[in-house]
């Protein structure tokens, strides 16, 4: 039998999982969005890897340090653990918008970093975010893009031409869509 790598959900952090806070730099600023923990649990129950990919240009701008970000991510993992959720990995780009790095979304560098640690197939996966760059990254790696209306998502939706396969109000609604998509694919495979 041929080994098929696991499916994953690539997730933006700010405005997608937690409340958008302009340059989130302190753990006490971190608040999960309504439906986020439920959605992540639903995705995990579907057998999907959960991988956070986030641009953090506040580091390059001097607003916070790598150590500050590590503290925020420790709190992020703690909050999720209390909700019964664990993520497989968190990958961030510390560079500014004026840097031509390989890791700043929508470039695929964060996904490539995740692939060195986690076995998954991006082309059988999903990406969820609240910005056009999240959806562009999804298309770049062959993942199915889902827009959430949280964070900046409602503005992105209003502009149109976002190319999302689905637009969700919450991560829970996105997870339900993914579950339906996987069920449909399974049914097609067995028909």
User: If you search the block for the tokens 């990919």, which residue do you land on?
Assistant: 53
Residue 147 to residue 36: CA distance in whole angstroms: 14
- Among candidate residues 12, 68, 88, 161, the one labeled active-site is 12
Residue 184 to residue 186: CA distance in whole angstroms: 5
Cis, bond preceding 167 (omega within 30 deg of 0): no
Residue 59 to residue 169: CA distance in whole angstroms: 30
Return the closest-CA partner of residue 12 out of 148, 168, 125: 148
Is-catalytic flag, 14?
A: yes
- Among candidate residues 14, 78, 134, 161, the one labeled active-site is 14
Return the closest-CA partner of residue 175 out of 72, 50, 19: 50
For 77, residues 6+ apart whose C-beta sits below 8 A from its C-beta are 86, 87, 90
Residue 45 to residue 113: CA distance in whole angstroms: 24
Burial grade of 4 (CB within 10 A; 0-12, 13-18, 19 or more): exposed
* Catalytic (active-site) positions: 12, 14
């Amino acid at each position: 039998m041929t080994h098929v790598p696991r499916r994953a959900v690539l997730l933006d952090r700010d405005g997608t999982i937690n409340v958008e806070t302009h340059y989130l730099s302190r753990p006490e600023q971190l608040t999960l969005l309504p439906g986020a923990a439920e959605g992540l649990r639903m995705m995990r129950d579907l057998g999907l890897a959960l991988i956070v990919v986030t641009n953090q240009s506040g580091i390059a701008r001097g607003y916070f340090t790598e150590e500050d970000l590590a503290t925020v991510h420790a709190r992020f993992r703690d909050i999720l653990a209390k909700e019964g959720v664990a993520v497989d990995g968190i990958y961030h780009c510390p560079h500014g918008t004026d840097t031509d790095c390989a890791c700043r979304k929508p470039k695929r560098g964060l996904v490539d970093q995740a692939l060195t640690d986690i076995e998954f197939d991006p082309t059988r996966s999903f990406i969820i975010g609240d910005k056009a760059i999240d959806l562009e990254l999804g298309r770049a790696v062959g993942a199915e893009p889902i827009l959430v209306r949280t964070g900046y998502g409602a503005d992105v939706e209003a502009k149109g031409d976002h190319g999302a396969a689905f637009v969700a109000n919450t991560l829970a609604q996105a997870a339900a869509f993914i579950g339906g998509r996987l069920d449909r694919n399974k049914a097609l495979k067995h028909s």
